[in-house]
Structure 1
Amino acid sequence: MSRTLFIADLHLCQEEPAITAGFLHFLQREAPHCDALYILGDLFEAWIGDDDPNPLHQQIAQALRALPIPTFFIHGNRDFLLGQRFARASGMTLLPEEQVLECYGHRVLIMHGDTLCTDDTGYQNFRAKVHKRWLQRLFLALPLRLRQRIAGKMRAGSKQANQHKSISIMDVNLQAVESTMLRQQVKTLIHGHTHRPAIHQFALQTQPAQRAVLGAWHEEGSMIQLDANGIQLIRFPF
């Protein structure tokens, strides 16, 4: 059966070996039996540059490169600095933050999803700053050890800030969802980021539409399968 798989929000790091093992198992057993794999951001918990000699990064790159299928990547809010050097090492194709696919008779928009959370103005302001090219180039030019310290402080600050935010503020804004889908002329959207896996059915200018949200890989795997019959959200043990 022809099918395409989508995953997001694995947040791979050395401190969570079970998630890494689950992902490697997925790459060996599940991913080879599909037409393509799309990773919709936050594959890694943090990314401070392609020159980081973290052995986990090398392990993941080798496992991805071994896949007999095309693999694509959209940056997340945790790994938006992932660059062409790692993409080449892993055999992945980097995509823009919004990508429309034509698959099995379906027109689907895929994205990480953080740009849809417009109610979280603090995050959106932060995102606008760190996505400035000159600032990224400046950060990547810093010594690796200094980048590690800065990234650690930023993660701690983000975690503390999120503790004081309501769940609704950190979720997508439905008007942002609708305007984005209308702009891209799609009736189906797949994204991650919010860690709230579900398939939402709604009306988009009186037409049926759907928004599929991937789950984070905390205690189990999460993927969306797209085939001729449509989309399916699948959870599975590591």
Structure 2
Amino acid sequence: MNNIYFISDIHLDPSNSEVTDKFINFMLEKSSDMKELYILGDLFEFWIDDKYDIVQNNIIISTLNRISENGTKVFLTHGNRDFLIGKKFTKITNIEILPENYILNLDNTRVLITHGDLLCTDDIDYQKFRKFIRNRITLKIFNLLSNNIKTKVASYLRSKSKKITSQKPDNIMDVNHDTVLSFYKKFKTNIIIHGHTHRKNIHETQDGRENYVRYVLGDWHNAPSYIVYENRKLELLDI
């Protein structure tokens, strides 16, 4: 168990057995080689409440428990779909929640890992909504609702989001390059790994004397992929 893995945007949903099976098979296949696993957000299609969603996703919980018991350390950054994952979930899965922007040290190389939505600053409406939906007052009101109403609200927001997204220009849905450059400098790193945009790729950029690399993970519904850190090298691979 020597290698470090990164995945993002699995969007697990109890109604989609194909993606669920793909995720479970991947986890069990790689677990013997997986020293650490970093899930960079949107593990689930949506998450409204630990107590409710843990029951709905018991097979996923069991899989995460299994690899954790086998020695793999699992870390999670919240995504825009599952930012309500809380302490109950982390306790029963032994997963550690990381800050939304986290510096990982890979053999003395600083690597920034993040979900990726904070890089998409051209999507002004989304950034405003993100700030609103994560506001303490908004969350407090949401948590007072019954699980039935929470589910309906989440389904409505998801449906509305998909409709709005389909009408937006592609460039707005991608990262803002000035924002990306500012993240490199702010976090003093030359490497960023993220998901969110569902645009699997490796982007190399030069700014002055600095060379930067940005690894983008694909989503598991259309372009399932993962990154493995092996022999001091990052590789973006298809599943």
Whole-angstrom distance in 1 between the partners of 2:58 and 2:178: 40
- Out of 201, 204, 219, the position equivalent to 1:201 is 204
Q: In the superposition, relative to structure 1, how do residues 120 and 219 fare at CA in structure 2: closer, same or farther (>3 Å)?
A: closer
- Out of 180, 183, 186, the position equivalent to 2:183 is 180
Query: Secondary structure in 2 aligned to 1:226?
Result: strand
Whole-angstrom distance in 1 between the partners of 2:166 and 2:224: 25
**Paired amino acid for 1:29:** E
Deviation (angstroms), 1:15? 2.2
Aligned partners of 2:204 and 2:214 also within 8 Å: yes
Matches within 5 A, 1:214-229: 214-219=217-222, 221-229=224-232
Deviation (angstroms), 1:60? 0.9
Query: Secondary structure in 2 aligned to 1:149?
Result: helix
**Superposition RMSD on alpha carbons, in Å?**
1.4
**Paired amino acid for 2:196:** H
Aligned partners of 1:31 and 1:37 also within 8 Å: no
Which whole-Å deviations, capped at 9, do the CAs of 1:44-88 have from their partners, x for residues lacking one? 001111021564422211211111210000000000111111111
Aligned length: 236
Query: Secondary structure in 1 aligned to 2:168?
Result: coil
Deviation (angstroms), 1:91? 1.3
Q: Does 1:149 align with 2:149?
A: no
Whole-angstrom distance in 1 between the partners of 2:93 and 2:74: 9
- Out of 181, 191, 194, the position equivalent to 1:191 is 194
Q: In the superposition, relative to structure 1, how do residues 133 and 32 fare at CA in structure 2: closer, same or farther (>3 Å)?
A: farther
**Paired amino acid for 1:190:** I
Q: Does 1:98 align with 2:101?
A: yes
Aligned partners of 2:200 and 2:223 also within 8 Å: no
Question: Which deviates further from its counterpart, 186-195 or 27-36?
Answer: 27-36
**Paired amino acid for 2:63:** A
Query: What's the % identity of the aligned pairs?
Result: 36
Whole-angstrom distance in 2 between the partners of 1:61 and 1:44: 12
Moved over 2 A (4+): 53-56, 227-230
Alignment gaps of 5+ in structure 2: none
Query: Secondary structure in 1 aligned to 2:37?
Result: strand
**Paired amino acid for 2:20:** T
Which whole-Å deviations, capped at 9, do the CAs of 1:119-172 have from their partners, x for residues lacking one? 000100000101112211221221111101111111111111111101110000
Whole-angstrom distance in 2 between the partners of 1:204 and 1:41: 28
Aligned partners of 1:60 and 1:90 also within 8 Å: no
- The corresponding residue for 1:231 is 234
TM-score (norm 1): 0.95
Aligned partners of 1:113 and 1:192 also within 8 Å: yes
**Paired amino acid for 2:115:** H
Deviation (angstroms), 1:205? 3.8
- The corresponding residue for 2:37 is 37
Q: In the superposition, relative to structure 1, how do residues 12 and 74 fare at CA in structure 2: closer, same or farther (>3 Å)?
A: same
Aligned partners of 1:6 and 1:224 also within 8 Å: yes
Aligned partners of 1:5 and 1:31 also within 8 Å: no
- The corresponding residue for 1:58 is 58
Whole-angstrom distance in 2 between the partners of 1:205 and 1:167: 28
- The corresponding residue for 2:20 is 20
Alignment gaps of 5+ in structure 1: none
Whole-angstrom distance in 1 between the partners of 2:190 and 2:222: 31
TM-score (norm 2): 0.94
Whole-angstrom distance in 1 between the partners of 2:86 and 2:208: 38
